[in-house]
Amino acid sequence: MSTVSYYTAEGLKKLREELDQLKSIERPKASQAIADARDKGDLSENAEYDAAKEAQGLLEARIAKMEDLVANARLIDESQVDNSKVYILSRVKLSVAHYRRNLPLFMEVKNLLDQGLIGDIKELSITMLKKTNLAANDPNNWRIDPSVAGGGYFYDLAPHQIDLVFYFLGNDLKSYSGSSKNKAGMYAAEDFVEGIIEMGNGIICKGLWDFSIIDQEEKDEFLITGTKGTIRFPVFGLFIELELNGVIQKMEFEAPKHNQQNHIQQVVDFFLGKGENPCSADDAILSMQVMEAFVYGK
């Protein structure tokens, strides 16, 4: 059953424009990619063809969802809205606490990328390997209760990492997909998640989260690879390694006294009309959509 959604005239116009973009530009591109891959030979061993077909399927699902949204959209008359109270579709300021965007370490990573020190970015990978066997025996550990935490520790830690992807590279996504499972059976929630994001500019972002390791070393690594070098750092650590021409430069940072202080100040400035929103609801929703696709395929 379709759900009615309410939009301002501007919001509905943007929705229709996005749908038109998908149907008139992205759909022909997907069909051409399949045709090009088909011309390369045996389809039974043609990975490029399989990838093109999968991308087309994701695109068509997105088009179908947006067509349903447009078909069930209703316009709201903004002139009739009482702005002294908050109603459905009231315009209010909202900022999300993805505070790592405003920590010195991650601001420096963005600065290095914006300077182009590692050349054109080709790939970004996130790796998180953690031992959680001891925590599995704690009945008060909400992170392993699917009714509370969804995909277990992934939903606790990955939002920080995936948000940084969009902070560094922007939020123009071509496709994203993933899979999850309960690998070790220590608790009910998923403990293994992997996913891939293809940015609109062709950059590939890969992620692996395994919270069931026993004999391996724990690992927290963000690796950005460019045509001239790499940037490596932990999301929950205090250093950056910049590698250029085989030479590694390590930059170390002090732990901030208050992790969220810089971010809170920017939020306050935004509410007072003195600055931009440091993290919008759209950014946060996109992170959650990607996480849902990784864990549940939605």
Determine which helix (DSSP H) or strand (DSSP E) holds 199, and give its type and residue range. Answer: strand 192-199
Tens of pLDDT, residues 68-109: 999 999 887 767 666 677 766 567 888 999 999 999 999 999
Confidence band of 1 (pLDDT split at 50, 70, 90): low
Tens of pLDDT, residues 228-273: 999 999 999 999 999 999 999 999 999 888 999 999 999 999 999 9
Whether domain 99-296 has CATH 1.10.3720.10: no
Q: Where are the domains of the chain?
A: 5-80, 99-296
Tens of pLDDT, residues 185-214: 888 888 999 999 999 999 999 999 999 998
| Among 294, 58, 54, residue whose Cα is nearest residue 181 | 294
Q: What are the start-end ranges of the H helices in the chain? A: 9-21, 27-38, 47-71, 104-115, 146-149, 153-169, 261-271, 281-296
- Confidence at residue 225, expressed as pLDDT on a 0 to 100 scale: 98
pTM above threshold 0.85: no
User: What is the distance between the alpha carbons of residues 266 and 228, in angstroms, rounded to a whole number?
Assistant: 33
Same fold yes or no, 5-80 and 99-296: no
Range 5-80: architecture per CATH:
Orthogonal Bundle (1.10)
